[in-house]
Structure 1
Amino acid sequence: MTAQTLIVLSGLPGSGKSMLAEGVSRALSIPLFSIDPIEAAMWRGGLKKDQTGIAAYEVAIALADEQLRLGHSVIVDAVNPIEAPRAAWRSLAAKYRAGLKIIECICADETIHRARIEARRRNIPGMPEITWARVLERRAEYEPWTDARLTLDTSIETPDKLIAEAANYLR
């Protein structure tokens, strides 16, 4: 990848986006900002859980803005379930005339998706693990993307193959 790019990884909890974001960050040496650790830090800092959802996105936008201002590419790992955060990423990329690359992770096999959620332990201090019931609620709220993007079904490929496919898409 030669030009600065804002890379947005999107998808439901348990869809594999954080695994993919971390792998791509390592493979391409691009900084990564993830909503969940940002939000957990806000909770540890004393903010109430009902105050941090939008604020965590605002922090990620500010961090990504700084990297783009410096001429660097950046990866953002967030559910991005509705148009508002998606529009913010488009606006930020346009501000710096940076490329915008979206990767949407899905886990089409519901049995695998549920098993991932029920077994996962991310060890983000202060952040409880999400329940399958909450994932189903999030899925009902999740709006389809209309932007050009790479969609990866993380239930059918190995992490290494997914990371390689994403890295190729970004190059």
Structure 2
Amino acid sequence: MTATLFSIGGLPATGKTTVARALARRLRAAYLRVDTIEAAIVEHSELAHPVGVVGYAVGYRLAADQLQLGLDVVAESVNPLGITRDAWLAVATEAGAGAMEIEIICSDRAEHRRRVEHRTLDIDGLVPPTWEEIENRDYRPWDRDPLVLDTAVLTPTAAVQRVLQTLSRRRAG
């Protein structure tokens, strides 16, 4: 069976990390988080956060390595622009792998804001964006139809189940 790249994007504090980790655990897939990559780059270099395209570029290369080994990859990042989304798809295509684009949203604005203001970070040195910064972020609408998972109404387990059901239908179809 061909490896699959699961490209997971969405605004900060929508639940991307929670869903992505649960999916990677369930699939026993490689897990790549651009925030982790960027934090390591900042910690071990002269660069300051945000590091621009560097974190994504490292993520693309790491994903390609894993896909070429036949491993599924769950790649999680804000993935705000068409250019970053296209790049993840190019990684899968060049590796001869399948791809599934997933956008994580939180449709309940009050809940999303609560998550932003009360979240606990698990990466040392990462400075979380404020609610204002998230609202003003350049996050462009998708020009394709990703699988949209709304964490305001789906538990992480239900979100993973939805991904697996969609994957099963695609592989059967």
Q: Please classify the TM superposition score into its range, dividing by the shorter chain length.
A: over 0.9
Structure 2: gaps (5+ residues): 169-173
**After TM superposition, where is structure 1 displaced by more than 6 Å over at least 4 residues in a row?**
none
Query: Matched residues in 2 for 1:117 and 1:19: separation?
Result: 14
Query: Matched residues in 1 for 2:157 and 2:130: separation?
Result: 27
Query: How many residues in Structure 1 have an aligned counterpart in Structure 2?
Result: 168
8 Å contact kept, 1:108–1:153: yes
The Cα offsets for residues 64-114 of structure 1, whole Å up to 9 and x where unpaired, read as 010112122111001110111111112111112211101101111110000
Is residue 142 of structure 1 aligned with residue 139 of structure 2? Answer: yes
Query: Matched residues in 1 for 2:90 and 2:46: separation?
Result: 28
8 Å contact kept, 2:42–2:49: no
The equivalences for 1:112-151 within 5 A come to 112-138=111-137, 141-151=138-148
- The residue number in structure 2 matching 1:154 is 151
The equivalences for 1:14-25 within 5 A come to 14-25=13-24
Q: Give 3-state SS (helix, strand or coil) of 2:103's partner.
A: strand
Is residue 38 of structure 1 aligned with residue 34 of structure 2? Answer: no
Q: How far did 1:170 drift?
A: 2.7
- The residue number in structure 1 matching 2:57 is 58
Structure 1: gaps (5+ residues): none
Distance 1:91 1:118, change over 3 A: same
TM-score for both structures, normalised by structure 1: 0.92
Deviates more, 1:123-132 or 1:42-51: 42-51
TM-score for both structures, normalised by structure 2: 0.91
Q: How far did 1:50 drift?
A: 5.3
Query: Matched residues in 2 for 1:130 and 1:109: separation?
Result: 18
Distance 1:136 1:101, change over 3 A: same
The one-letter amino acid paired with 1:95 is E
